[in-house]
């Protein structure tokens, strides 16, 4: 199996370890009907929530190395579709 020559890991600019991508978006969480408990705290009536993601605000590269944790705004174009799979070598 060979990887396409133009596909390579994105590495941290500080430590060189692989990074992941985090996309910051506008959005909100819908908790449903609200109630007020005896202490005056507002809570959801039932333990349910629905997340609604909105438009992207920023795409970040995030280092996977726990000792580094470097993050930066990705300046390259981000495509959320996964890279093409590696191809099988033909058997001879």
- Interval 27-85: pLDDT, tens: 999 999 999 999 999 999 999 999 999 998 999 999 999 999 999 999 999 998 888 87
- Report how far apart, in Å, the C-alpha atoms of 26 and of each of 23, 56, 71, 76 are: 10, 6, 19, 21
Question: Does the predicted TM-score (pTM) go above 0.75?
Answer: no
The pLDDT value recorded for residue 88 is: 58
The pLDDT value recorded for residue 85 is: 73
Six-digit token string for 89? 């070598």
- Residues 3-30, mean pLDDT to the nearest whole number: 90
């Amino acid at each position: 199996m060979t990887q396409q020559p133009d596909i390579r890991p994105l590495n941290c600019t500080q430590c060189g370890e692989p990074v992941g991508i985090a996309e910051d978006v506008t959005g909100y969480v819908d908790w449903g009907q609200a109630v007020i408990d005896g202490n005056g705290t507002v809570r959801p009536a039932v333990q349910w929530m629905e997340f609604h993601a909105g438009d992207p605000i920023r795409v970040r590269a995030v280092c996977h190395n726990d000792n580094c944790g470097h993050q930066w705004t990705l300046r390259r174009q981000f495509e959320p579709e996964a890279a093409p799979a590696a191809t099988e070598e033909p058997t001879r």
